[in-house]
Amino acid sequence: MIKLLARIAVIAAALASCTVGAQPAGPGSTPQTSIVGSFSAKYPSAGGFSGTFSCLGTPQCRGIYTVRDDLPGCANSYVHTESFRIDGLNLAANGTTTATMTLSGLGQATGVGAGQACTFDDGGGSLTFTISVQYSAGSATFTSPLAPDPAHWLYGSFSTPTANPPVFPMSVFGDLQPLAVSGAVTIQRRPQDVGIPENVYVFAHAPSSLVRGAHAVKRDPGDHAAAVLADDAVVCVLAQVDASGQLTAVSASTMQAALTGVLSSQVQAQTLLSAVPTNNVAGTIMFVGYGTNAQSMLANGIYQAALGVPGPVQCASSLAAPPAPKSGGPLTGLWWNENESGWGVHFAQRSGIVVATWYTYDPAGNPKWYIAPNCTGPSGASGSCTSPVYQVSGPTFFGVAFTPIGPSQVSQAGTLTINFADANNASMSFTVAGVTRTVPIKRQVFPVAATAPPAIDYTDLWWNAAESGWGMAITQQYGDIFLAWYVYDSAGNPFWYVASNCVVSGSSCSGKLYRTTGAPFGPTYDQGLLKVFEAGSVVVSFLDANDAVLSYTVNGVTATKTITRQIFP
């Protein structure tokens, strides 16, 4: 038998650093802060775990988490929901907070052995940890070491949906338990809404797999992701909880009002969930809002997130995020030549323009990247385009503040032509640095397990608009993300890193970062010269469909930056 205490201890450390407490409460009790987040980590030996969590209140936090634990030696995963408590967390000001966290519901696995299916038993033990969390303006990232090697740290993030300036005054109350959840709010109308006949609505952003009447998402047969995305994707949809505690699909035109009448300036109490089985609403975010009808409420944004329930598929606290990611066109993604592993190109397509970020090697075999920013032509899944290719020099990236690059740091290195036969096959012709070549390329498909497609596909080119000159190409397939990160070395030369297996958990992914050396740039490519070196670790915490927080440790330097999808033209 293998005890789970050590692994769960690490989960506890992470959860503690990312949650805000909640005590069982009703509308007459003390208001509580609502927290929703996610975490993941790799074990130093093998396997790993990932999960989502939600809790209420501060400085003491009581809530629940749902975790998937992939134990070394077990052919199956352990997915369970348990309770935890955190004490001493202060979200009154930005900065780093030290707190203690107690995790309950520890268990054990039996039947561990190579390739064996394990059975799991929930236990009655608990562990307490000291944790830290870096908090700023309603969101935070956190880390917790599993081992001295930073590649085996736990990473995660959380947000406080009610921390930002509210749409209208609201207080949250609730009781989150592994078997049942309850919640309520008190709301107060905006002064301009007082005296107007309006309806109050309570509704959910919920995984479609739990929602009665939700329509399955069908993929276009020509979709570039057809090779890796199946039909019946689990996405987040509008829903309401019926009298039996079941989520039922609704739209703006069918949403039922919880209260109807002329609004006054008085505080109004409203139930969100009343002892609803936790499994019925796992991954759901509960909202409250008001308007003359649901359409006007949603169109005018007179609603806000109030309470989250953790689950294997975690919906976002922004209604606009899942249905409206600012995604690229059908050619967007990672491409390569499968016989020349070690280099590749990421395409981001919008409005007939393709931006190509190309990672390869300089004459000495060191990492070097180029960019072709204006390959104009293809607006669909085929066509040709030609663009100048540029090389860029910039400031040292790690350990210092980044200075945006200027025109003098950009020089043309050649030209690039791409002929797209379809959304998965193309040829790449270039003249760069005195080398001319044509090479076939194809969309790179990851060797991932066939699981439910993600609620949001983050595949795109991402950047920080205030730090123009560096960026990150994200390619997602199922629960894996490939990151190609374009930065600069200490001499200002373009340099790149990759995270080839950034494992997605909830709304974040984490994994090891690598640097490589390879065959010098030339008319041929010798795959045998490819060498891979571990360089650090990375976590990308997605705040919504188009915004994220990047946290990393590279060569001993740890930092956090915000990134967004790069929208062009």
Same domain for 18 and 83? yes
pLDDT band of residue 102 (cuts 50, 70, 90) is: confident
Least Cα distance to 163 among 39, 46, 50, 58 occurs for 58
Backbone CA torsion sign across 204, 209, 212, 218 = positive
- Is pLDDT above 90 for 204? yes
Say which range, 5-9, 191-195, 386-390, 536-540, has the weakest mean pLDDT. 5-9
pLDDT band of residue 460 (cuts 50, 70, 90) is: very high
Same domain for 197 and 295? yes
Domain presence at residue 537: yes
Same domain for 438 and 395? yes
Say which range, 19-33, 113-127, 451-465, has the weakest mean pLDDT. 19-33
d(CA 168, CA 417): 53
What pLDDT, on a 0 to 100 scale, did the predictor assign at position 12?
33
Domain presence at residue 318: no
Same domain for 441 and 407? yes
| Residue 17 belongs to domain with CATH number | 2.40.160
Same domain for 542 and 415? yes
Same domain for 437 and 493? yes
For residue 513, which amino acid is it? L
Domain presence at residue 317: no
What pLDDT, on a 0 to 100 scale, did the predictor assign at position 8?
31
What is the domain extent for residue 250? Answer: 170-308
Least Cα distance to 154 among 145, 162, 163 occurs for 145
- Is pLDDT above 80 for 519? yes
Q: Domain total for the chain?
A: 3
Same domain for 41 and 146? yes
Q: What count of residues does the chain have?
A: 569
Which pLDDT tens digit goes with each residue over 213-246?
875 433 333 332 222 223 334 567 789 999 999 9
Pick the residue with more confidence: 210 or 108?
A: 210
Domain presence at residue 164: no
Instruction: Please give the share of the chain, as a percent, with pLDDT higher than 90.
Output: 38
Q: Cα dihedral angle (562, 494, 500, 398), rounded to 10 degrees?
A: -50
Least Cα distance to 305 among 189, 139, 161, 157 occurs for 161
Average pLDDT over residues 345-374: 94
Average pLDDT over residues 19-24: 30
* End residue of a domain, out of 308, 342, 359: 308
Pick the residue with more confidence: 277 or 115?
A: 277
d(CA 469, CA 82): 44
Domain presence at residue 316: no
Say which range, 61-65, 75-79, 532-536, has the weakest mean pLDDT. 75-79
Same domain for 282 and 359? no
SS3 of residue 481 by DSSP: strand
Neighbours of 366 (CB within 10 A): 16
What pLDDT, on a 0 to 100 scale, did the predictor assign at position 109?
67
d(CA 455, CA 544): 11
∠ CA 464-468-472, rounded to 5°: 55
* End residue of a domain, out of 265, 283, 308: 308
What pLDDT, on a 0 to 100 scale, did the predictor assign at position 532?
94
* End residue of a domain, out of 277, 308, 339: 308
Domain presence at residue 491: yes
Average pLDDT over residues 350-362: 94
Which pLDDT tens digit goes with each residue over 469-512?
999 999 998 878 999 999 999 999 999 999 998 887 766 788 88
What pLDDT, on a 0 to 100 scale, did the predictor assign at position 399?
86
Same domain for 466 and 561? yes
- Is pLDDT above 90 for 339? yes
Domain presence at residue 563: yes
d(CA 327, CA 218): 17
Same domain for 213 and 249? yes
Pick the residue with more confidence: 516 or 510?
A: 516
d(CA 124, CA 129): 17
Q: What is the mean pLDDT of the chain?
A: 81
pLDDT band of residue 368 (cuts 50, 70, 90) is: very high
Which pLDDT tens digit goes with each residue over 249-295?
888 888 999 999 887 778 889 999 999 999 999 989 999 999 999 98
- Is pLDDT above 90 for 324? no
Phi, psi of 369 (to 5 degrees): -125, 155
**Pairing verdict, β 435-443 and 333-336:** antiparallel
149 Cβ contact list (under 8 Å, min separation 6): 44
Same domain for 112 and 208? no
Say which range, 103-112, 176-185, 253-262, has the weakest mean pLDDT. 103-112
Same domain for 359 and 467? yes
Say which range, 88-97, 114-123, 131-140, 511-520, has the weakest mean pLDDT. 114-123
Domain presence at residue 268: yes
